[in-house]
Amino acid sequence: MASFHYSFQKVVDLKTSEKTQAEWLLSGALSKLSEVEQSLKQLMDTKAEWELKLQDAARSGVPLADLQMLGDYLTHLQTCIENKMKDRKQAERAVEQSRSKLADKMKDEKVWLKAKDHAFDRFRQALQLKEQNELDEMATTRYLMPTS
């Protein structure tokens, strides 16, 4: 029996490889987004903690210079939070771009795999037709043979 060999197998392999690479890129983008969100949460928690310290200091009669310093630090934390939010937006865009690229790569791979399946179906049909013709030939030969 003849074996099936797909002439565009290297293209199928390439498309599969591209899809795998796109999956890795998406995984990296998701990891980066997770890191940024964790860092943002940490900054927000720190800010909330320092706001409580500022309130306690204001109630306990701390010198104005110390209150000013706490306020400046809170302003710095707020700036860091705003920057981190920009980083999060950027990371979210990178995730969406990676998802889009992965979807495209998956479509490409699916098209080529479907073409391979169709080629295999045609090969199998041709093989079955050839086998049927051989069986028909054998039956015809036996029928026409003189019996002794």
pTM for the whole structure: 0.77
Q: Supply φ then ψ for residue 145, to 5 degrees.
A: -65, 135
- Contact indicator for 12, 116 with CB cutoff of 8 Å: yes
CATH architecture of 9-113: Orthogonal Bundle (1.10)
Asked whether the predicted pLDDT for residue 145 surpasses 90, the reply is no
- Taking phi first (over 0 means left), then psi (-120 to 50 degrees means alpha), and beta for anything else, what does residue 125 get? alpha
Per-residue pLDDT tens over the stretch 87-102? 999 999 999 999 999 9
Q: Where are the domains of the chain?
A: 9-113
Query: How many helices (H) and strands (E) in the chain?
Result: 2, 0
Q: Are 32 and 87 in contact (CB under 8 A)?
A: no
Q: Which residue has the higher pLDDT, 27 or 136?
A: 27
What's the confidence (pLDDT) of residue 148?
A: 58
Rounded to whole angstroms, the Cα distance separating 19 from 16 reads 5
CA gap 19, 78 in Å, rounded: 40
Band the pLDDT of 122: cuts 50, 70, 90. Answer: very high
Average pLDDT, the chain: 94
